[in-house]
Chain A
């Protein structure tokens, strides 16, 4: 699917999807993060891991909704997938425009100028460098692509809350999974 049709499709989907207030969304995520921070006793790796896990669980479910509603054309390559992910899916769910940069046949970056998760957020000094507030998205992308048989690794390479001018999520394809039941389900 070409770049422009992916973003047109995204805009159409965004126009007809029912909406919720982004402030409520942002505040709700904020209260979830606060809770995670409290439960993790300040262990920042644990916090990031937990937030990523939460995203993963959203990803594996939201991909179904996306496929059911989006009518997106079949992707023939990872580049196509990257466009659909950045231009269509992010638009449909969050209403934001993402720039997609293809870095290599197996890696791409999603660049976000704005982020609805950040509406009222500022990280305290001790978490500024380490806490990855938007790692939720990494989990979502990992979960969603895993359901499409792409095993990927996502990293938040740029982070507005840390002082960068944009958010950048780098997605690296690790492996293409094979369809079919796992070994446990096979007959001898």
Chain B
């Protein structure tokens, strides 16, 4: 043993410039895809139903979400804490998305029917880019991991919410931009991912009280 590695809490937090002064640390997209596919397979071998698989993926993502919230907040020099509902949603769909997936979420919508429901839309979610769901798993959304991350960030920030991922068929002409991840190698996606965020009633009450 030639040197003692400093305790992890004594090391710099990393992020921008942590790796020998270059850009943000990166690995190849396919490495992530392989790893994610193993994560899904690992869980798949241990569950009996689709919903259980989604739940397990969500709980994996949840832990990641809690850590991501902390990371981004510490790196953000303002040390600002979002306390308003819309701000935290903006934070998730821009900053969190950007730092994890390298782009903003495509849109953030409010549900017309229910005041406590919001939707974050991503036309090319990273986690399902290389996944094709077999027919016998029909309803599975491979983006459950991402919804877990969102839930982790929101709950960690004090906004109790349930988040679920849904694959929704694209309407004609809705999104025909060039696929961002793998250039033109992949066929255009027929589905988008919608992350449905359902806030607990007390969160809305609290937010209304701040107006």
Contact = CB atoms under 8 A, between A and B. Distances in A.
A92 B100 CA distance: 20
Contacts, number: 121
A116 B34 contact: no
A27 B64 contact: yes
A20 B25 contact: no
B41 interface: yes
Interface string B1-31: 1111101100000110001000011111111
A122 B7 contact: yes
B34 A61 contact: yes
B126 A20 contact: yes
A22 interface: yes
A147 to B, nearest CB: 14
A17 B64 contact: no
B175 interface: no
B46 interface: yes
A167 to B, nearest CB: 12
Nearest to B23: A19
Range for the number of chain A residues in contact with chain B: 35 or more
Q: Is the interface of A mostly helix, strand, loop or mixed?
A: helix
Q: Is the interface of B mostly helix, strand, loop or mixed?
A: helix
A51 to B, nearest CB: 10
Nearest to A165: B2
B60 A31 contact: yes
Contacts of A54: 38, 42
Interface residues of B, number: 46
Nearest to A17: B28
A57 B32 contact: no
Contact of B26 (A29, A34, A95, A164): A95
Contacts of B63: 31, 34
A160 interface: yes
Contacts of B7: 122
A62 B30 contact: yes
Given A27-B67, A92-B28, A119-B14, A32 B38 contact: yes
B25 A93 contact: no
Contacts of B64: 24, 27-28, 30-31
Of the listed residues B34, B61, B68, the one surrounded by the most CB atoms of chain A closer than 10 A to its CB is B34
B131 interface: no
A25 to B, nearest CB: 5
Contacts of A22: 24-27
B103 to A, nearest CB: 11
Contact of B31 (A57, A94, A122, A160): A94
B5 to A, nearest CB: 6
B139 interface: no
A18 B38 contact: no
Of the listed residues A19, A34, A62, the one surrounded by the most CB atoms of chain B closer than 10 A to its CB is A19
Shortest 7 CB-CB distances between A and B: which pairs? A22-B25, A122-B8, A20-B32, A18-B29, A19-B26, A31-B60, A58-B34
Given A20-B126, A21-B100, A32-B42, 9 more contacts: A18-B29, A23-B100, A24-B100, A25-B32, A29-B35, A32-B38, A32-B39, A32-B60, A165-B5
Interface of B: 1-5, 7-8, 14-15, 19, 24-36, 38-39, 41-43, 46, 56, 60-61, 63-64, 67-68, 71, 99-102, 126, 145, 181-183
Interface of A: 14, 17-25, 27-32, 34-36, 39, 54, 57-58, 61-62, 65, 92-95, 114, 116, 119-122, 160, 163-165
